[in-house]
Homo-oligomer: A and B are copies of this chain.
Amino acid sequence: MSLRHALLSLLTVEPMTGYDLYKVFESSVGHVWHAPDSQIYPELKRMESEGLVTGEDIPWGQRGKKRQYTITEEGVAHFRGWISTPLEYARTRDPAHLKAAYLEWADPEAAREQMRGHIAHHQALLRQWQERIYELEHDTNPMLTKRLKITPPEKHEATIAYKHFTYEGLIARAEAEIRWATRGLELIDRLNS
């Protein structure tokens, strides 16, 4: 149930429509949290009915309208409460490592293809996260820029530092996965020579 917390985190910056939020999930934030529009719209309605946000229809063009959601005090408290609550970790369920444990069942080329896929996947993530770090260091992330504008200057350092720290962790993880799969390729070669 972290979707609503991801939504709330964005709504602490400024009021947004479902489509605005969807676009953010599709771009930068989407590399930490993904959500399809079909999940966002109903969740916003539920959050409105629970008083975490208020919705307001605002005109859009001649006949159109869109619904803009504003976080409530209760929503802010809810978000802060979630951040402060110890995370419950889900039991392990890891298809990539489950497959890796039984690679002797695949022929060597299929096994190599698994490892190459793993490397490609994590290299793509790595690039995305390095791009986020670049944005942080050059203040080119629109959401963060807006956030800093409404944040007291003495909290700017922490606001940036925790996001930097987050992406560093994701980068370290991606690099570890790439190293692991690279060793996997070497192992496959060794076992099939």
Residues of B within 8 A of A6 (CB): 98
Tell me the bound Cα distance from A185 to B157 in angstroms. Answer: 16
Tell me the bound Cα distance from A143 to B82 in angstroms. Answer: 41
* Nearest Cβ on chain B to A84's Cβ, whole angstroms: 4
* Nearest Cβ on chain B to A158's Cβ, whole angstroms: 4
* Nearest Cβ on chain B to A117's Cβ, whole angstroms: 5
Q: Are A172 and B161 in contact (CB under 8 A)?
A: no
Cross-interface CB contact of A169 among B83, B100, B121, B169, cutoff 8 Å = B100
Q: Are A94 and B157 in contact (CB under 8 A)?
A: no
Residues of B within 8 A of A91 (CB): 30, 34
Q: Are A176 and B172 in contact (CB under 8 A)?
A: yes
Q: Are A34 and B92 in contact (CB under 8 A)?
A: yes
**A150 on the interface (CB 8 Å rule)?**
no
Cross-interface CB contact of A191 among B105, B113, B157, cutoff 8 Å = B157
Cross-interface CB contact of A83 among B30, B33, B103, B118, cutoff 8 Å = B103
Tell me the bound Cα distance from A176 to B88 in angstroms. Answer: 19
Residues of B within 8 A of A45 (CB): none
Residues of B within 8 A of A82 (CB): 99
**C-beta contact mask, A1-14 vs B, less than 8 Å → 1, else 0?**
01001100100000
